[in-house]
Amino acid sequence: MNSEAVSALISKNPSLKASKAKLEAMEPGAYVVHRSWGFGQIKSYDDSAFRLLIDFKDKKKHPMDPAFCITTMDVLPANHLLVRKETDSKKINELIADNPAQLVVEALQAYPNNAATVIELEIVLAQVIGDEKFKKWWSVAKKAVAKDPRISVPEKKTECYVVREVPVSAEDEILEQFTGTRSARRRIALAEELMAATGKKDVKADLSSVLKGVADAVKDSNQIDASERLYGAAVRDDLAKYLNDETVFEPTQASLVASVRDLPTIAEKIPVHFQSRFLDLIHETHPIESRDILFNLLKTSQGKFTTECINFLVEHDHSDELAATLQRWQTEQNLRAPVLLWIVKNRHSKKFAKLLNDLITPRLLGAIFFAIDYEALQAASARRIPLGDILSEDTDLIADLLSTADPETARDLANTLMLNQGFEELTKKSLLARFIKIFPKIQSLVAADAESKEEQLLVSRESYDRKVKEYELIKSVKIPENKAAIATAREHGDLKENSEYKMAKQDQSVLMAQKTLLEKDLGRARVTDFKEATTEQAGIGTIVAVKTGGKSITYTILGAWDGDADNNIISYKTALGAALLGKKVGDTVKVKAGSGDEDYTIVSIARYADKN
């Protein structure tokens, strides 16, 4: 809009006088971003109708009232990336492909003070690059941006990317962040970044203050847990070595792994790239006990740490003990999901095939089904189960595990599969087809058997033993006594009028019903020690603190037969236990109580196995 057009518009609507400069910028050829219509270009201005004609991308030309546009539309400067994408697309595409840091610099230079929030910058870059390609491009570009001395990178999304007036090296930026934070966790991470960034550059004078800051954080901070303290001590000692500082700092790494009882908790959270050093440290600190410690850690290990433990044992000549231990755990039903996953993934590898050969049996498939069922019960949600995924994706796995199976064993395993809660119905049918391919008769047998079975029950060893004793008492004592009582009553003659005989027969019916029910329950029972429970969510084997009705109560969720109201121990089969499964800290569940519902909000979650 030229000056005359703007003056005419203001004469018609004096309230627009304060926006004169913005109206003058709305001239033909200018590029704009509208709050609702998006990116476009002003094509012309109709003096008679007082309307701007704007060509919005992928839309028809649209007449708009300039007065309305003042609050809903921004005129973009010529150096804005969206404008340059139209006017100099070749250059912009070159920057996208070859120099993302320069692209970000030029994007920021279009903003006041050369600064834009993370959200502002990402919106513009996504529009320039395209929504489909942006996420992948930005994950790579951010690394280049972080290393560019011209750009200040924010820690939070609400803060700004800034083009500095004077470029700052990556080392100086990290030093600045280190000085500006009091977080022990952040200081440890920044110290590690700084060592990686320094390379051959001599900044040892600056690093001395960093070493002191990390050493103080490791020694005094109550913000970090045992694994973070150990890792911080390792970073501290690496930094001291780099600086040729021979100070013996406390606590030492050895002292932090001195207590064998603490090692499983530390292992759960130790960074992946530190796991190998962690195992070396255990070996150095506990030279005599290290093998046994490693086996205990392997038993409850997860993810890459499982692989690290096994590699460590093999490299230290414990292959035979490893094979024997895995066999024993299989017999004792103590093979955990991460170890099972490692076994099936490595069963054909050159390094481990011989070690694992004797484990690839139908019994291992049974252990896999149990682990999948257990995890599905614990999660009570649709989260993916790695063991279930590999069973579906590895088309040879079931055939390998059934290679030595007889038809009866294969049928039992097929039935177990059909009752498993960790698979969707379509997946079950797909896996069952692999059984049928090897044992065609299973197709008819499975359908009949599956109808007569019910879901498995997870129970503690103590409650299982109590049930077995109850069963043995009925079977070996009460039923024989009842038979004797019936025989004695018969001798009294005239059974129609013989009350003793009638009572004895009634007792017989009750005892046989109890025996049948116990046999059924014991057949469904699967013993667990609750060590697979995590603190990420409420599950079987967790201690859950809740708030309800203004009160704080702590419940322990255990097996199907472990309820103990006096001690706030509940079975996962109860209404409250089932409602809590899979929920996280902060979640609220509703449970029916009498005529209404009661709300239970989870405050904290701990592992039952850690308290016993």
pLDDT at residue 413 above 60?
yes
pLDDT in tens, 243-267: 888 999 999 999 999 999 999 999 9
- Read off the pLDDT band of 610 (50, 70, 90): confident
For residue 74, list its beta bridge partners: 33
Averaged pLDDT for residues 555-568: 92
Q: Are 554 and 566 in contact, with CB atoms under 8 Å apart?
A: no
Model confidence pLDDT, tens digit, residues 214-250: 999 999 999 999 999 999 999 999 999 988 889 999 9
Average pLDDT over residues 11-26: 88
CA 36 to chain CA centroid, nearest Å: 37
Name the least confident of 94-108, 165-179, 253-267, 595-609: 165-179
User: pLDDT band at 595, cuts 50/70/90?
Assistant: low
Provide CATH 2.30.30 ranges for the chain.
Answer: 3-75
Strand-pairing partners, residue 40, are: 32, 56
Element (H, E) at 151: strand 151-152
> C-alpha angle with apex 378: 377 to 382, nearest 5 degrees?
75
In angstroms, the Cα distances linking 442 to 100, 397, 406 are 60, 18, 11
Q: Under CATH, to which class is 542-611 assigned? A: alpha beta
Q: CB neighbours of 40 closer than 8 A, spacing ≥ 6?
A: 31, 32, 33, 34, 54, 55, 56, 57, 59, 62
Banded model confidence at residue 494, pLDDT cuts 50, 70, 90:
low
Contact between residue 598 and residue 591 where contact means Cβ atoms under 8 Å apart: yes
pLDDT score, position 455: 67
Check residues 259 and 451 and name the one with the higher pLDDT.
259
Determine the Cα–Cα distance for residues 359 and 38; give it in Å rounded to an integer. 62
Does 26 have pLDDT greater than 80? yes
Pick from 275, 270, 266, 324: nearest CA to 295? 324
Portions of the chain given CATH number 1.10.287.180: 458-528
Instruction: Tell the CATH topology of 81-163.
Output: Arc Repressor Mutant, subunit A (1.10.10)
pLDDT of residue 6: 87
Tell me which residue of 150, 155, 206 sits closest to 185, measured CA to CA: 155
**Pick from 198-207, 428-437, 515-524: least confident:** 198-207
Residue 445 CA to residue 414 CA, distance in Å, equals 9
First to last CA, the chain: 79
Q: How confident is the model at residue 325 (pLDDT cuts 50, 70, 90)?
A: very high
Q: How many CB atoms lie within 10 A of CB 186?
A: 16
3-class SS of residue 457: strand
With left for phi above 0 and alpha for psi between -120 and 50, is residue 461 left, alpha or beta? alpha
Radius of gyration of the chain (CA): 35
Question: Is residue 309's pLDDT more than 80?
Answer: yes
User: What one-letter code names the amino acid at 359?
Assistant: L
b/e per residue 501-520 (b: at least 16 CB within 10 A): beebeebbeebeebbeebee
Q: What is the pLDDT of residues 385-399, one digit of tens each?
A: 899 999 999 999 999
pLDDT per position as a tens digit, 341-367: 999 999 999 999 999 999 999 999 999
- Identify the pLDDT of residue 138: 93
Give pLDDT, residue 288.
Answer: 93
Is the pLDDT at 485 greater than 90? The verdict is: no
Burial call 300-328: b when 16+ CB within 10 Å, e when fewer: bbeeebbebbbebbeeeebbeebbebbee
Distance of alpha carbon 125 from alpha carbon 119, whole angstroms = 10
CA–CA separation, 234 and 254 (whole Å): 10
Tens-digit pLDDT profile for residues 65-91 = 888 888 889 999 999 999 999 999 999
| Residue 549 dihedral angles phi and psi, to the nearest 5° | 55, 35
Where does CATH 1.10.10 sit in the chain?
81-163
Residue 170 CA to residue 198 CA, distance in Å, equals: 8
Helix axes 204-220, 170-180, angle to 10 degrees: 30
- Strand-pair category, 542-548 with 596-607: antiparallel
CATH 2.30.30 fits 3-75, yes or no: yes
To the nearest whole percent, how much of the chain has pLDDT over 90? 50
DSSP character string of 20-56: HHHHHH--TT-EEEETTTEEEEEEEEETTTTEEEEEE
Contact call for residues 421 and 378 (beta carbons, < 8 A):
no
Query: CB within 8 A of 492, min separation 6: which ones?
Result: 498, 500, 501
Q: What is the pLDDT of residue 453?
A: 53
Which run of H or of E encompasses 6? helix 3-12
Bridge partners (DSSP) listed for residue 606: 543
Model confidence at 44: pLDDT above 80: yes
Q: By CB neighbour count within 10 A (0-12 exposed, 13-18 middle, 19+ buried), where does 585 fall?
A: middle
Q: What fold does the segment set 458-528 form as a domain?
A: Helix Hairpins (1.10.287)
pTM of structure: 0.58
Cα separation of 271 and 334, whole Å?
Answer: 26
pLDDT of residue 200: 44
- Tell me the C-alpha distance between 226 and 387, whole Å: 30
Domain limits, CATH 3.10.50.30, in the chain: 542-611
Structure tokens belonging to residue 454: 């019910």
